[in-house]
């Protein structure tokens, strides 16, 4: 079946550092891809999405490009802030909004 | 404000007891979902419902039951048959067939079995 693999965390960075969180997927067909963010004690929020190959999703300084040739959707940000500390989930759609989630990557940003 | 409300936020249960988690949405969304979150395992789908009076099992439905009698409500019952019920439970909704896949999540309910 479809699956999503994320890099294990935690990822620990200093403020203003460059962030990359790797995500690869296995899917039949052409899924949509998503990054969700979960702040402590809260539910998940959609961060960005891409619906077809070569699309770039972006929001709040975060970006991810749908790479069909490498089946990847890596999350990047040029300069992280302490407020970006959260758990980030990569996900793909599996028909009728059934999302398959990765295991999540915790990001810790220190001042 | 539109959104999804889950209650209670924290719940403690003795072994052998059933417990029901509430999920209400005022977004006028057709579809609703229940996910379970465990450390290191991400989110796993328990049940989902595309329309009122209809629902389907997800990947880990054993030991759980749901109902969808109203569009805005999708309660989840964790039964005594669920062998390891301690977890964080997340309810979500989406617009339905016209949506590109974005889910809107509640803030979650943390269930602890004593």
pLDDT grade for A42, boundaries at 50, 70 and 90: confident
In the predicted structure, residue B97 carries a pLDDT above the cut 80: no
Distance from CA of A98 to the nearest CA of B (A): 8
Three-state secondary structure call for residue B16: coil
In the predicted structure, residue A48 carries a pLDDT above the cut 90: yes
Retrieve residue A91's tokens: 């996900």
Name the closest residue on chain B to residue A92, using Cα atoms. B101
Q: Which of B44, B102, B105 sits opposite A43 (nearest CB)?
A: B105
Distance CA A47, CA A63 (A): 9
Contacts of A104 in chain B (CB under 8 A): 42
Mean pLDDT estimate for chain B: 91
By DSSP bridging, strand A99-101 and strand A86-93 are: antiparallel
Distance CA A96, CA A33 (A): 13
- Contact between A34 and B101 using a beta-carbon 8 Å cutoff: yes
């Amino acid at each position: 079946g479809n699956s999503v693999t994320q890099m294990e965390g935690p990822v620990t960075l200093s403020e203003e550092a460059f962030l990359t969180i790797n995500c690869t997927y296995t899917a039949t067909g052409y899924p949509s891809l998503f990054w969700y963010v979960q702040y402590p004690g809260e539910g998940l929020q959609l961060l960005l999405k891409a619906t077809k190959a070569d699309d770039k999703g972006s929001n709040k300084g975060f970006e991810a490009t749908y790479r069909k040739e490498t089946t990847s959707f890596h999350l990047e940000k040029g300069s992280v802030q302490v407020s970006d500390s959260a758990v980030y989930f990569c996900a793909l759609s599996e028909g009728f909004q059934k999302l398959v989630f990765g295991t999540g990557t915790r990001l810790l940003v220190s001042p | 404000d539109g959104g999804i409300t889950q209650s209670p936020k924290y719940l403690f249960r003795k072994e052998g007891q059933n417990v029901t988690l509430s999920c209400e949405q005022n977004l006028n969304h057709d579809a609703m979902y229940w996910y379970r979150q465990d450390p290191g395992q991400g989110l796993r789908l328990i049940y989902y419902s595309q329309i009122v009076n209809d629902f389907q099992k997800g990947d880990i439905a054993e030991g759980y039951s749901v109902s969808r009698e109203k569009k805005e409500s999708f309660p989840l019952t964790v039964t005594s048959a669920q062998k390891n019920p301690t977890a964080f439970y997340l309810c979500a909704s989406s617009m339905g067939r016209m949506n590109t896949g974005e889910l809107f999540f509640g803030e979650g309910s943390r269930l602890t079995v004593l």
